[in-house]
Amino acid sequence: MAIRVLTILVIGVLFCTYGSALSVLRKKLGATSPSRLSSTIDESYFHRSGPWDCKDLGTLMEANRAWANRMARESPGFFDDIKKGHAPKILWIGCSDARVPANEVIGEPPGSVFVHRNIANQVPNTDVNCMSVIQYAVDVLKVKHIVVCGHYDCGGIRAATELVDHSSPLENWLRNIRDTYRLHKKELDGISDMKQRQRRLVELNVIEQVS
């Protein structure tokens, strides 16, 4: 069975920032290390209220019940359909960035996409987790397409272009991206605008994963 491997760049995503644990991050890095933190963080945004405020996860459970009721109301056969089995047609390898949810960005309902996500959508052959996902998707689920999806303003890409030791294990992971930079160093170094350079690295990083 032939499987199509696709590359997708999700365009127009807002820039990536680190922040759900901003205070913990600052304690770890120290207040004197502003270069380690994004200067674009809007703290009021990260302190906004939401179901995650409840420590016993009660509001998250309520949100799930509300979602289930809405799905049953708007798509009466939805839960009956997903009880029939797990048969997605697509394996989606994407970034962990919360703003790029696989199903939603391609307009597909739950059950149609098998998903593997990590920082900067990497597919290293040394990653047993990723290799297992691909094997299961191809051999068991019989997916028809494998999509590697990157997105502009990726925090992992940006971190890999910083002259900063992000400490292990994150620093080890970023080496994969830095290897891609090294392979395309002449082209990337020729782009003077750092934002545009990072955008090009996003593209090259996706291409490298399926090469």
- Among 95, 130, 149, 153, the active-site one is 95
Is the Cβ–Cβ distance between 170 and 164 less than 8 Å? Answer: no
- Among 26, 36, 99, 184, the active-site one is 99
Name the residue among 202, 108, 195 with its Cα closest to residue 151: 202
99 is catalytic: yes
Distance between CA 151 and CA 121 in Å, rounded? 9
145 is catalytic: no
Residue 20 DSSP one-character state: T
Distance between CA 104 and CA 167 in Å, rounded? 33
Residue 175: what residue type? R
Is the Cβ–Cβ distance between 100 and 151 less than 8 Å? Answer: yes
86 is catalytic: no
SS3 (DSSP) at 127: coil
Distance between CA 32 and CA 24 in Å, rounded? 14
- Among 117, 154, 158, 197, the active-site one is 154
184 is catalytic: no
95 is catalytic: yes
Distance between CA 193 and CA 201 in Å, rounded? 12
- Among 116, 117, 149, 151, the active-site one is 151
Residue 90: what residue type? I
Give the neighbor-by-neighbor strand order of the sheet with 145-151: 4-10, 145-151, 90-95, 113-118
Known catalytic residues are: 95, 97, 99, 151, 154
